[in-house]
Amino acid sequence: MTLSTTTAIAINEQIFYQQQDNEIQLFEYAFSHQLPLLIKGPTGCGKTRFVAYMAEKLGRPLYTVACHDDLTAADLVGRHLIGPKGTYWQDGPLTRAVREGGICYLDEIVEARKDTTVVLHPLADDRRILPIERTGEELAAAQGFMLVVSYNPGYQNILKGMKASTRQRFVALRLGYPNPQLEIQILMTECQIDQDLAGKLIELAGSLRRLDCDLDEVASTRLLIYAARMISSGMSPLAACRSCLAEPLSDDLSTVEALMDVARLYFDC
């Protein structure tokens, strides 16, 4: 497993999260009943931030894995390595979370191979065990362990989707982009900008989201935060809109210019 695929977040970090609906309460109920959780939502709507916030709130260590096509079961569970004193076993992030009673978060779970996600099955039902085939250990999940996975439903297709046998092991919630009032509050708190600038960015995002362009994704809350930070540090609003909104949303120059035409209606300077 490469270090780039896994992030451990200390529980004493200060993480800001603005609740959209009842997701905090649902997460707490799932945690208290030792139930695994599936989070659905578009890119940049706050799925990862939400999980990090809940890990901090519940006082649990968090292990985040960015799933991809080459992710193997060994990347999650662990493998034998060779060191100066010979062969030794190294736990993967899933195993560490199981041993420590932490939260293991698998981001974009549908990107992982189906033969990899099968390893989750005995953890995601009432057994709560992790069989480690290479060591012969059958590891019972420590108190506090929670399995959380997420994916973007908009990217699902026949080749990339959760097996029904996996999906039905999870409690599920759906996150979207926050309503305009919440997004304004998020930008003001996260980026330390005034309400006027936050309001303009949110109005612009609404227009871009309604624009009839061939975009794979719309302007996300994450991209709005990037733009707000750039503007608050001195970058011109239009330059920030181009680098943080228009260019990340499309490679097609005509589409980028169409997005910038909309931005100029709000930041004509």
> Mind listing the pLDDT tens digit for each residue in 172-210?
999 999 999 999 999 999 999 999 999 999 999 999 998
For 230-263, b where at least 16 C-beta lie within 10 A, e where not — what string? Answer: bbeeebebbebbbebbbebbbeeeebbebbbebb
Print the SS3 string covering 159-174.
CCCCCHHHHCCCEEEE
| Cα 31 from Cα 144, distance rounded (Å) | 8
pLDDT in tens, 8-44: 444 444 788 999 999 999 999 999 999 999 999 999 9
Q: Which residue has the tokens 């390595």?
A: 81
At a CB cut-off of 8 Å and minimum separation 6, what does 189 contact? 16, 18
Query: How long a stretch of residues is the chain?
Result: 269
Q: In terms of residue numbers, what domain contains 197?
A: 180-266
Q: Which residue has the tokens 């910038």?
A: 260
Q: How many domains does the chain have?
A: 2
153 and 80 part of one domain = yes
Report whether 44 contacts 186 (CB < 8 A). Answer: no
End residue of a domain, out of 174, 196, 221: 174
184 and 167 part of one domain = no
CATH of the domain at 131: 3.40.50.300
118 and 221 part of one domain = no
Q: What is the pTM of this model?
A: 0.87
226 and 126 part of one domain = no
End residue of a domain, out of 174, 207, 235: 174
Rounded CA Rg of the chain: 21
End residue of a domain, out of 174, 200, 216: 174
133 and 13 part of one domain = yes
198 and 75 part of one domain = no
* Portion of the chain with pLDDT greater than 70, in percent: 92
